Structure 1
Amino acid sequence: MRVTLVHPAGFNFVPGQPDFSVLANRMPPIGIMQLASWLEKHGHPTELHDCLGPYAPPGIAANAEIVLASRPDLVGISATTSSFMDGVDLAAFIKRKRPEIRIVFGAVHVSSIGAPILEHFPEIDYLCIGEGEGCLLDLANGKALAEIDNLVFRNGDGQVVCNPRRHRILNLDELPFPAYEKLAGFPHGYHLPLFAYEKRHGATMITSRGCPYTCSFCDRTVFERLYKTNSAQYTYEHMKYLRDRFGVRHINFYDDLFTAHRKRVTELCEMLIEQPLGMNFNCAIRTGHTSDEMLAMLKKAGALMVSMGIESADPGMMERHKAGVTLPEVKKTVERIHAAGLRAKGLFIFGLPGETPETLRHTSDFILSLDLDEMNMTKFSPMYGAPIWDECVSGKEGDFIEDWRLMNCLNFVFKPHGFSSREEMDALYNWHVKRYYDSRGYRHRFAKRLWQHRWSLWHVVRHLPETVAAARYFSANKEELELARREFVRHPRQPVGLQPFLSPELKADAIAAMSPIRISRRPARPATEPDACCTPQALGSTMPWTV
C-alpha cells in the first residue's frame, strides 16, 4: 500500500499571520519520520510531507495538492492540538478530490480524546491511539479493522468502535532509524534553536518513549506509564549514521528525560569518549537527580548544554505542579552544571493555575539570580490528557478559551484569577523576556561566545532580509495584530467541551498528581495484624494507593 505521512503547519504567535518563527528554529517531524522507516522496512512505499518544511508552500490547498501528487492509498496525519484543525482542512480537501483515499489521524490530540473525534469529523476514517507503528502497519497490510489494536473506526452501521490498546514496543532497538532521507531539505533546510549549538549541521533525536514522572501539566496518553529506551549502542550508531550520511555535527536529544536511565547514559558516554564522533549534543536532566560524575562524563562525551524543567520559582507553585523539585536543589544543580563546564538552560511555564503577577516577578528574579546560559518560558496551555485539565476547564482557577488553534504554548488561552486580563499577562511576559536578555550577565556570556555562535550568526545574516521583513511587519502592524489576536474566531467546525479519554492507570496518576497530599501509586502491602480502627473497611476506603 502506498502511504503518505503529513505534518500539518498549525499556527504561530498570531493565528492567520505570517509564521516567522521558522527563521529561528525549524525541527524535523521525528514522529512521522520514524513511522515512515518502519513502513518502508515492511514493504510499504511511504512519502513524507512537512507543511512547515523549507520548501512547503503556504496554504491548505497547495499542501494538499502535494500530498495528492504522491498518489497515496492511505494518508496519515500526525497532529498536535494546535495543528489539528489544519489537519482536518487538509483531510477535507483530499477527500473532495479523491474520496477513496483512507485518512488516519494520530499523535497526542487524538490519543487524549479518542472516539468523539470521529463523531465530529467525517473526513477522518480512522484514529490511531497511542504508539503508531503496529496500528499503521496493520492498516497498510489490510488487516480486518476489528482486529487492529489501537484503532478507532466506524463499523458498517456508522457506529464508532474503539479497539483495545495494544502492547507497547518493548525493545525500541527493533525500530529502524527515522527516514531523514525522505524529508525534503534535510539537514540544510532545518536548524536547531539559534545559539544553542557550536557545530553544524544539527538534527534531533528521541531515544526513549514515555517519562517516569507525572507532572500536573503533562499529557502522557500516547505512551502512558511505560518508560522504554534505546540502548547505548543503538543511540551511538544512530548518531554516527547522522554524521556519516548527512554531515550532522550536533544533536538535540528531545527525550522527556534523557538521563533517567543512568546506566544507559553512562554506557553511551563511555562509547563517545572511547570512540569520539566529533559531535556535540544537548539533553535534559532532572534537578536533584544528577551527580557530579554524570555531569563530568556528559561534558567529556561532547555535551554542550543541559536543560532542566523548573517551571516556577514560587514554592507553592512548585509543590503543586512540579513535586519533588526545590529552589535550593535548582541553585545547586546549576552550580554543578557550570562547574562541569556545561551550559545550563532553565525551562519555565508562565500562567499555570495559581499564578499571579507576584509569582511571575519572583520567578523572574530567581531566573536572573541563577546565571543561566539560556532560558525558555512558555505560555501555559492546558492539554486534554494532563492531570490538570479538569481543574482548568472547571472555571474555579481561571478563565479558559478552548480554541485548539491557539493551544500552542504561544498564547495565553488560560488566564488565572490572579490576573486582570490577558494583556496584563502578555505585558509581564514581555517584561521578563526583555529583562533576561538585556541583563548584564546574559550579554556578557553572549559576547564571550561570539565565535562559538558563528554558525547561528551566519544563519541570521543569510536570512537578514526575512528577519528585517519580520521586524518591520510586526512593528508596522502592531495595532492590527493585537486586534487580530483579541478578535480571533474559533474554527467553525471545532467542537468544545470534549472529555479526555484516559485509561484507568492514567486516571489514577491524575488523582495522585493533583492530590494535596503525597500519594503513592504502588499497591499497599497489607499489615500482618491491622488494628480494627485502621483497616480499609473501618475507614470505608477502597482507594488502591498508599499515602
Structure 2
Amino acid sequence: MIKTLLVKWHEHLGPSSVYPQSVADAVGCFPPLGLGYLAAVLRKAHYPVELLDVNALKMSEKKFQEVIGRIQPDVIGLTSMSLVWPANVRASQLIKEVLPDCLVVVGGPQLAAYPRESVSFDTIDIGVRGEGEETFLDLVRRLDNKEDITNIPGTVVKKNGKIVVNAERLLVSDINKIPFPARDMMPMDKYHCAVLQKPFVTMLTARGCPYACGFCCKHHWGNTLRQRDPENIVTEMEQIVETYKPKEVLVYDETFTINRNRVFKICDLIRERKLKIKWDIRTRVNLVNREILKALKSAGCYKIHFGVESGSQKILDKMDKKIKLEEAMHAFRIANEIGFETMAYFMIGYPGETLKTIEESIQFAKELNPTWVDISIAIPYPGTDLYNMAMSEKWLDYDYWKEHALCHQNGRIRRFAGEDYSEDELEKLLMKFYRKFYFRPSYVLNRVLSLRSLSQAKSYFNGFKALVLANV
C-alpha cells in the first residue's frame, strides 16, 4: 500500500513577517490541525500514514533527511502559508536529495493564491488547492490502484511539460463526517504559547466565514459557513480531555457565537456530560450578549478572543469590519463583569492610518482592559481585498506575492506609510503599542497576582522578555 508522510516544516519568518522574531517566538508553536485531519482521513481508509512536525521538534535538515530516509514514504505532503512558502520549497529540495522518486505534494493557502507558480519547481510534483481531505485521499487511492493522477479535481499537476490547474473540488458539505484530527501523531508536549496554559489543545468546530474584512483571505475555506453539530463537537472535547488532560482547549473558529442556538446546545451538552474543561473561543464583538456569555461561562469557557482591530471608527470602516466601537466596549464590559479572560486583536498601518488613529487604538485597548492584546501590522496578503486594492491603486508597483511564490523575492513586502509616519517606522510603532499596554505598572501587578503555576510564570516571563528584547 502507498505510504504517506505528512510534514509540517519550519516556520522561518521571512521579510514579510508581521512580528519581530522575538515576539513571533513568544506567540508560540501550534498543532498542525490541517495535517492532523489529512492523517485521520488516510488512517480511516486504512492507508499507512505518519505525521512529522519538524517545526515543533526543532529538527535540523540533516536529521530530517535521516528520518525520511528511514521511513521511506511513497508520498510526502507539505503544507504552507504564503508567508513561509520559500522554506517549504527548501523542504522539497531536501526530500528529493534523499528520495528522488518520492511524490512531493504541497497544499495549504499558498496553493489557492498562486497554484501554477507554486508547482513550478522541479522538486514539487503536485499541488492541492482548497480543502485537502477528499483530494489527498483520492490521490493516494489512485496511486495505490496505479490509475491516472493528472485529472483529480482540486489538484495542480504537470502534464506534457505544462502545469495544469484542474477543476476545483467542491467543499465538504458535511464536516461532521471528517474524523477528528490525528493528534496522537503530533508531539503534543512541544506546543506552546505565551498566553495559553500548557499543555493545550486546539480544535475547529466550523469552517468558512460569512464576513468580508478587507485584510482577510478566505481562499482556503470560502465564505460559506459550515458548522459541526454540537454532539460531534462535545464528543471530541471528551476525547481530548480523556486523552490529553489539557489545561486549556482553544477553539479556532473565527465566529464561534454566530449561531446562538448551537452555542446554547454545546454548553448544555458539556454540563449534561459533566465535562470538566477549560476552553477558549474566538468571535466578533457584535455576536455576543450577556445571555450567551453566561452560558459559555457555566460550561467552562474562560477566555474569549475578540478581533477589535482599531480604536478608530474611520479605520474600522475602511477595513469593512462591520463593527462599531460601542459594540466593542459593550462586549468587553460584560465579558469582564462575568469574569472572562479576554484577548483583543489589533492591527496598525491600514491605509488611512495616522499617528493619531494609532494612538486612539492604544488608548482604546487600555479602555477595553483585556487580559491580553495581540497587535500586528497590516499586510496585503494575496487574495485579500487589501492586496487587490494595493495593486489597482499602484501602491505596489509589482506583484510581490507572485515573485515570492517563485522564490525570486528577498525584500520585505511594502507596508502602508501614513500621512505622518513612514513605512519603516511601523515596527517601532508596533512595539510602542505593545509596550504602552503591557508595561503599565497596574497591568504587571495584576498579571503577577494571577499566577497559578510555575509554567504560567515561565510563559509570562518569556513574553515579557520578547517585548524587551525586540530589536526595532
Normalised TM-score (structure 1): 0.77
Q: Distance in 2 between matches of 1:103 and 1:333?
A: 46
Matched, 1:255 2:253: yes
- Match of 1:26? 29
Q: Which amino acid aligns with 2:184?
A: E
Query: Paired residue for 2:171?
Result: 168
Answering whether residue 154 of structure 2 is matched by residue 150 of structure 1, we say yes
Q: Matched residues in 1 for 2:298 and 2:201: separation?
A: 20
CA distance 1:18–1:344, change in 2 (3 Å): closer
Q: Distance between the aligned counterparts of 1:260 and 1:177, measured in 2?
A: 22
Query: Paired residue for 1:109?
Result: 110
SS of equivalent residue, structure 2 residue 294: helix
1:47 equivalent in alignment to 2:45: no
In structure 2, the residue matched to 1:284 is 282
> Does residue 36 in structure 1 map to residue 39 in structure 2?
yes
Equivalent residues of 1:243, 1:249 under 8 A apart: no
Q: 1:202 aligns with which of 195, 200, 203?
A: 200
User: Counterpart in 2 of 1:265?
Assistant: 263
1:133 is matched with 133
User: Against the structure 1 CA distance between its residues 459 and 314, is the aligned structure 2 distance closer, same or farther, given a 3 Å change threshold?
Assistant: closer
Deviation at 1:189, TM superposition (A): 2.0
> Contact 2:195 / 2:459 at 8 angstroms: preserved in 1?
no
Name the residue aligned to 1:431: 432
* Structure 1 residue 131: Cα displacement: 0.6
1:239 maps to 237
| Helix, strand or coil at the partner of 1:178 | coil
* Larger helix proportion of the pair: 2
Q: C-alpha displacement at 1:233, in angstroms?
A: 1.0
Structure 1 residue 413: Cα displacement: 4.2
- DSSP 3-state at the match of 2:276: coil
Given that 1:392 and 1:400 are in contact with CA atoms closer than 8 Å, whether structure 2 keeps it comes out as no
CA distance in 2, matches of 1:64, 1:203: 29
Which of residues 322, 336, 339 in structure 2 aligns to 1:338? 336
Within 5 A, what are the aligned runs for 1:393-404?
393-394=391-392, 396-397=394-395, 402=400, 404=404
Contact kept? 1:312, 1:349, Cα under 8 Å:
yes
Is 1:349 the equivalent of 2:347?
yes
Give the letter for the 1:177 counterpart: F
Q: Which moved more, 1:222-231 or 1:18-27?
A: 18-27
Deviations 1:178-220, CA, capped at 9 Å, x for gaps: 111111x31x2223x32444xx521111111111111111111
Q: Distance in 2 between matches of 1:225 and 1:163?
A: 21
For residue 414 of structure 1, give the secondary structure of its aligned residue in structure 2.
Answer: coil
Structure 2 distance, partners of 1:448, 1:14, is 38
Q: CA deviation at 1:66?
A: 2.5
Sequence identity percentage: 22
2:12, 2:420 → 1: CA distance?
Answer: 25
Structure 2 CA distance, aligned partners of 1:248 and 1:448? 23
CA contact (8 A) 1:8 1:83 kept: no
Contact 1:311 1:322 in 2 (8 A): no
Partner of 2:182: 179
Letter in 2 for 1:57: M
Secondary structure at 1:121 match in 2: coil
Q: AA paired with 2:37?
A: Q
Contact 2:77–2:106 (CA under 8 A) maintained in structure 1: yes
Unaligned runs of 5+ in 1: 483-547
The alignment's TM-score, normalised by the length of structure 2, stands at: 0.89
**Local SS of the residue matching 2:258:** coil
What SS class does the counterpart of residue 373 from structure 2 fall into?
A: strand
Give per-residue Cα distances to partners, 1:5-59, cap 9 Å, x unaligned: 1112132387999878546622111110111111111121111111211x3323x
SS in 2 for 1:332: helix
Higher relative contact order (CA closer than 8 Å, sequence separation 6+):
2
- Residue 528 of structure 1 corresponds to none
Name the structure 1 match of 2:92. 91
SS in 2 for 1:304: strand
Task: Answer whether contact 1:400 1:415 (CA < 8 A) is retained.
Answer: no
| One-letter code aligned to 2:228 | N
Using the TM superposition, give the Cα deviation of residue 90 of structure 1 relative to its aligned residue in structure 2, in angstroms. 1.1
Kept in 2, the 8 Å contact 1:49–1:67? The answer is: no
Answer with 1 or 2: which has the greater Rg: 1
Given the superposition, is the C-alpha separation of residues 426 and 22 from structure 1 closer, same or farther in structure 2, using an over 3 Å criterion? Answer: closer
RMSD after superposition: 2.8
